[in-house]
Amino acid sequence: MPLSLVAKGLIGAFAVSGALHLVKPQVFEPTMPRALPKHRELVLASGAAELLCAAGLAIPATRKLAGPASAALLVAVLPANVQMAVDAVERLNRRGPTPKRVGWALAYAARVPLQWPLIRAALRAAR
């Protein structure tokens, strides 16, 4: 079955994000939930996992396994997305609203519910 446009976008997003996690892990470390240890190692591991999921979804022979793995990865990174949204709102409240801060807070908050359609797309890509 050919990949949907959403699944192709997911492959691209995983590839770009995975590469960024490996090249610039310090950008992602502040998004880690504070309760988790070893932020650098977890950021690097999630970057490698994103690259593996991108490759797995792109290759038809591995798509059946990569779809659920990609969905699981999206669920696993959900706490970091929630942390980013919480931090952005706290920054907004602490420093006051500016167009940039409001924009970032809205973008981070929007990422949380957007995880669910991405999870669905990953599972559908496995078919």
Residue keyed to tokens 């994103």: 50
- Whether residues 47 and 96 share a domain: the answer is no
Domain carrying residue 69? 1-76
- Whether residues 85 and 96 share a domain: the answer is yes
pTM of the model: 0.86
- Whether residues 55 and 83 share a domain: the answer is no
Number of independent structural domains in the chain: 2
For residue 82, being part of any structural domain is answered with yes
Of residues 75, 73, 93, 96, the one with CA closest to residue 85:
93
- Whether residues 54 and 102 share a domain: the answer is no
For residue 53, being part of any structural domain is answered with yes
What DSSP string runs through 47-110? Answer: HHHHHHHHHHHHSGGGHHHHHHHHHHHHHHTHHHHHHHHHHHHHHHHHH---HHHHHHHHHHHH
- Whether residues 83 and 71 share a domain: the answer is no
Q: What is the pLDDT of residues 61-116, one digit of tens each?
A: 999 999 999 999 999 999 889 998 999 999 899 999 999 889 989 999 999 999 99
